[in-house]
């Protein structure tokens, strides 16, 4: 039996401004097992609608994925959270949409649809 494709998508909303957050670099990493090292798979940036397209599918055997958002790129030197890293467990043949709600001094993530 082989693993089926696991896909990941995200979008970023600037809750302080009340609009999508454009031009936020996002790096997708994966690992096969909780003790395995992270392998970077690719980087993309959010578009004008805050959505990040172009992230690769996760390789077979992946058990965990991580999205790293370079939030400092939005306000260099002024970001309280210069990076937001979100790690989550994955299963074969699933799609994971993990939005980031960002404000100057806080953030929230959830599994979307």
Give the pairing type, strands 64-69 and 84-89: antiparallel
Does a structural domain hold residue 2?
no
Residue 38 phi, psi (nearest 5): -75, 140
- Domain range for 98 is 7-109
Can you give the CATH number for the domain in which 43 is found? 2.60.40.180
How far apart are alpha carbons 3 and 19 in whole angstroms?
Answer: 37
Q: What is the pLDDT of residues 67-82, one digit of tens each?
A: 999 999 877 677 899 9
Does residue 23 lie in a domain region?
yes
Decide: pTM greater than 0.85: yes
Measured CA to CA, the distance from residue 96 to residue 15 in angstroms comes to: 22
Give the chain's domain count.
1
What are 19-48's pLDDT values in tens digits? 999 999 999 999 999 999 999 999 999 999
Q: Are 62 and 32 in contact (CB under 8 A)?
A: yes
């Amino acid at each position: 039996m082989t693993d089926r494709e696991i896909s990941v998508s995200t979008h970023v909303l600037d809750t302080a401004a009340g609009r999508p957050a454009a031009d936020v670099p996002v790096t997708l990493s994966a690992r096969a097992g909780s003790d395995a090292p992270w392998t970077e798979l690719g980087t993309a940036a959010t578009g004008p609608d805050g959505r990040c397209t172009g992230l690769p599918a996760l390789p077979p055997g992946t058990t965990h994925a991580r999205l790293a958002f370079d939030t400092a790129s939005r306000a260099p030197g002024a970001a309280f959270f210069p990076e937001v890293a979100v790690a989550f467990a994955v299963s074969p043949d699933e799609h994971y949409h993990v939005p980031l709600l960002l404000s100057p001094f806080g953030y929230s993530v959830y599994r979307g649809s």
